[in-house]
Amino acid sequence: TAAKAVVCVSGMSCSACAVSVENSIKHLPGILDAAVDFLNDRAQILYLPNLTDVETILQAIENAGFQATISK
Ligand code: 9UX
């Protein structure tokens, strides 16, 4: 069963940053979809919890050079 995560992303300076963030997430195992909203500093991710988790997703975004936290 897929789960949805909403992540706050900071450090995106232009819309191409949002593409970088999307790519950093989409290449991970267990990711079904990732959509980054540059204007709202949010990423919505559909993932399979048996293959990945939110911590892994946050770390991938951080590794791409952005700051990521769980949105509430
Ligand atoms: Mo824009 Mo972002 O020139 O990683 S792509 S600042």
Residues 6+ apart with CB under 8 A from 20: 64, 65, 66
16 lines ligand 1 (CB under 6 A): yes
Number of the ligand 1 atom closest to the C-alpha atom of 13? 6
For the cut 90, the answer to whether the pLDDT of residue 61 exceeds it is yes
Reported pTM? 0.95
**Run of H or E residues at 2:** none
- The percentage of the chain sitting over the pLDDT mark of 70, rounded to a whole number, equals 100
- The ipTM of this complex is 0.92
Confidence of residue 72 (pLDDT cuts 50, 70, 90): confident
CA pair distance 54, 69, nearest whole angstrom: 9
Mean pLDDT of 61-72: 95
CA pair distance 2, 30, nearest whole angstrom: 9
Q: How many domains does the chain have?
A: 1
13 lines ligand 1 (CB under 6 A): yes
The residue count of the chain comes to 72
Q: Locate the DSSP E strands across the chain.
A: 3-10, 31-37, 42-47, 67-70
Q: Which domain holds residue 29?
A: 3-70
Find the CATH number of the domain harbouring 39.
Answer: 3.30.70.100
